[in-house]
Structure 1
């Protein structure tokens, strides 16, 4: 492999909390290879801990569904135009778009057409919905880093270079869950039941889901007074969560955490959780879960028409089965959510069988993603 002349200059864009986490893990591997690299663009606080310099914060891109995207279209479009112009002037050695396909693919296409090499990290879920994006991906990315093993073959069938690198969360989360340590850190005893309440990391998700989640908590508290409830709050969202608790959860024994979602998942007996990357984290922590999601009615109708699979939650998609319940849109009622949680708490043998299924999934996804992806990036930079 030919050496890289000088310290590599990368630009990256990651949207919302999950993209910030994925990008930070990738940056860690890249910095071990190239300690003096520079990385700039759009990112969040976890990326900043790896020496990333944000020109805009990632939460500018954290919109929820089509309706909210339309409301913020002008601002987001302006950011993308300004970023594209700056990157075309400064010409990084490589642009890495981390998820956020609605923002990144158009930007990548423009950069690629101008001769800037582009990598898209996280294959868009063309196997689940909006398959037409594969043509846009072909125009946009010189290479795609895939989190799931079935994706490279699918993309290569469309003429897109791709590599399976595993999922970085599978490396970051231990195979053996540190349950006792997490419970001690959060102040729970070894035997008291705990439910992690996780309504999402975006404002739209919280607005759509938290009232129903709190309604479910009220019913669960009445049915199981000994059940403990813990709710990790993403940075910057505490006032919004407090507002919903005042309106819908007054008097409920919900313990709020500033972040610490991994400790909550390690400690809990089950989780009530918004569909998204957090459900994969819950699976890697081998936790029973009830997946829920609600969208603006317009966004929901559009998404329903473009779905190809019966599953929405990542654990179910990867296992190709409804291994955990999904309660979506109008089905995500407080009563239904509470009943689904109780079914897990009342069936420890079922929960143990699920734990084994998730352990197999964890091994499949554990590929030292940061190193594997960095190897691919090094070959691209060397012109291999």
Structure 2
């Protein structure tokens, strides 16, 4: 390996972070073909040669109070062990991908020991927990921001930051391959299809999937011939299968092994848990009903820290309730079905939101791999 080929420690904490890290690694390897990367991650990163010392499943926590407290000791022990191993490996830089509650503490330790630290995906300090910016200043040499308004926030606080666009905007085609996706999934080209995305974490599935399945049953009664697809992430099928079985015969449902992008490309509408998946749905120009539900103590805590009226990323980026959000007590089968039916009954409304999402797609499509690798090279002084 030449001196121009860096060695990078990395941590990505869930499927969305794994995908973002995989796309980043692809760009970095175009610049440095012999780049080495190692740490904690998932299968997408491993396709880019990432050496996963631990799997990202270990970081999966839903909520911000009881569920986190039950696993806090284990997470602290894992972070300490990972930090020890990274300090021994002496990477040229460390890149923490999202997962700020885990990564910022690790980054602070590594930075103090002299390792360059980069955080990919700005924590949502503009939405809630703005006080974390002081911890970010302590922990991070450079922040790679996905959204155009974020670098100014960091620059005001004396933190180096770059807008790199969103890698999903590069990965998802501007023109949605609807027919190809339907063919790949065995769906009729003329059917109306709804994608159910209840989240990737076990806690999300436990709290959100019943409302989405219940809504699907109601929608099927009102709309004969309606089809449903449900991309199931690895590790949640044991939770999902009994829920799905309760609705056997009530509607036409195809449970997929992953393949969420194909599901979003194929569908006419998605009922979806708040998170990165909502941005993916927007990039596929799909109308949606955003949902979320969590433990009531976690919900109370989040309510006390929120700065904006919106939770879903499409609404935050477009500064309005462009798509409905049904959260916590409002996340019921009846309410979700009603909001979905309003989309089904208004093709012109669906077309209008699709146009707004197309404009957002162009804004976020910035060749993230190149921009991010330029920023990493700057941090490394190469």
Aligned to 1:26: 24
Deviation at 1:6, TM superposition (A): 4.8
Counterpart CA distance in 1 for 2:49 and 2:236 is: 24
Counterpart CA distance in 2 for 1:211 and 1:267 is: 23
Counterpart CA distance in 2 for 1:328 and 1:336 is: 10
Counterpart CA distance in 1 for 2:262 and 2:256 is: 10
Q: What is the DSSP-based 3-state SS (H/G/I as helix, E as strand, rest coil) of the residue aligned with 1:35? A: coil
Structure 1: state its 5+ residue gaps. Answer: none
Aligned to 1:37: 35
Aligned to 2:316: 317
Counterpart CA distance in 2 for 1:72 and 1:63 is: 8
Aligned to 1:277: 276
Q: What is the DSSP-based 3-state SS (H/G/I as helix, E as strand, rest coil) of the residue aligned with 2:129? A: coil
* Per-residue Cα deviation, 1:48-75 (whole angstroms, up to 9, x for no partner): 0110001110111011112211111111
- Indicate yes or no: 2:182 matched with 1:183: yes
Matches within 5 A, 1:48-197: 48-66=46-64, 67-197=66-196
* Per-residue Cα deviation, 1:96-143 (whole angstroms, up to 9, x for no partner): 000000000011011111110000000000000000101001101100
Q: What is the DSSP-based 3-state SS (H/G/I as helix, E as strand, rest coil) of the residue aligned with 2:304? A: helix
Aligned to 1:289: 288
Counterpart CA distance in 2 for 1:379 and 1:7 is: 14
Q: What is the DSSP-based 3-state SS (H/G/I as helix, E as strand, rest coil) of the residue aligned with 1:324? A: coil
Deviation at 1:86, TM superposition (A): 1.1
Confirm or deny: 8 A CA contact 2:118 2:140 kept in the other structure.
Answer: yes
Counterpart CA distance in 1 for 2:375 and 2:107 is: 18
RMSD after superposition:
1.0
Counterpart CA distance in 1 for 2:42 and 2:247 is: 30
* Per-residue Cα deviation, 1:200-250 (whole angstroms, up to 9, x for no partner): 01100000001111111111111112100000011222222112222x423
Aligned to 1:261: 260
- Indicate yes or no: 2:9 matched with 1:11: yes
Question: Which stretch of structure 1 is more off in the superposition, 315-324 or 212-221?
Answer: 212-221
Counterpart CA distance in 2 for 1:17 and 1:249 is: 27
Which runs of structure 1 show a deviation greater than 4 angstroms over 4 or more consecutive aligned residues?
A: none
Q: What is the DSSP-based 3-state SS (H/G/I as helix, E as strand, rest coil) of the residue aligned with 1:95? A: strand
Q: What is the DSSP-based 3-state SS (H/G/I as helix, E as strand, rest coil) of the residue aligned with 2:174? A: coil
Question: Aligned residue pairs: how many?
Answer: 379
Aligned to 1:47: 45
Structure 2: state its 5+ residue gaps. Answer: none
Confirm or deny: 8 A CA contact 2:271 2:340 kept in the other structure.
Answer: yes
Confirm or deny: 8 A CA contact 2:193 2:269 kept in the other structure.
Answer: yes
Matches within 5 A, 1:203-282: 203-246=202-245, 248-252=246-250, 253-282=252-281
Aligned to 1:342: 341
Counterpart CA distance in 1 for 2:179 and 2:167 is: 24
Q: What is the DSSP-based 3-state SS (H/G/I as helix, E as strand, rest coil) of the residue aligned with 1:72? A: helix
Counterpart CA distance in 2 for 1:182 and 1:6 is: 41
Confirm or deny: 8 A CA contact 2:4 2:32 kept in the other structure.
Answer: no
Question: Which stretch of structure 1 is more off in the superposition, 160-169 or 62-71?
Answer: 62-71
Aligned to 2:375: 376
Query: TM-score when scaled to structure 2?
Result: 0.98
Confirm or deny: 8 A CA contact 2:231 2:258 kept in the other structure.
Answer: yes
Q: What is the DSSP-based 3-state SS (H/G/I as helix, E as strand, rest coil) of the residue aligned with 1:196? A: strand
Deviation at 1:251, TM superposition (A): 2.5
Counterpart CA distance in 2 for 1:17 and 1:64 is: 13
Counterpart CA distance in 2 for 1:138 and 1:127 is: 15
Counterpart CA distance in 2 for 1:96 and 1:143 is: 10
Counterpart CA distance in 2 for 1:72 and 1:49 is: 29
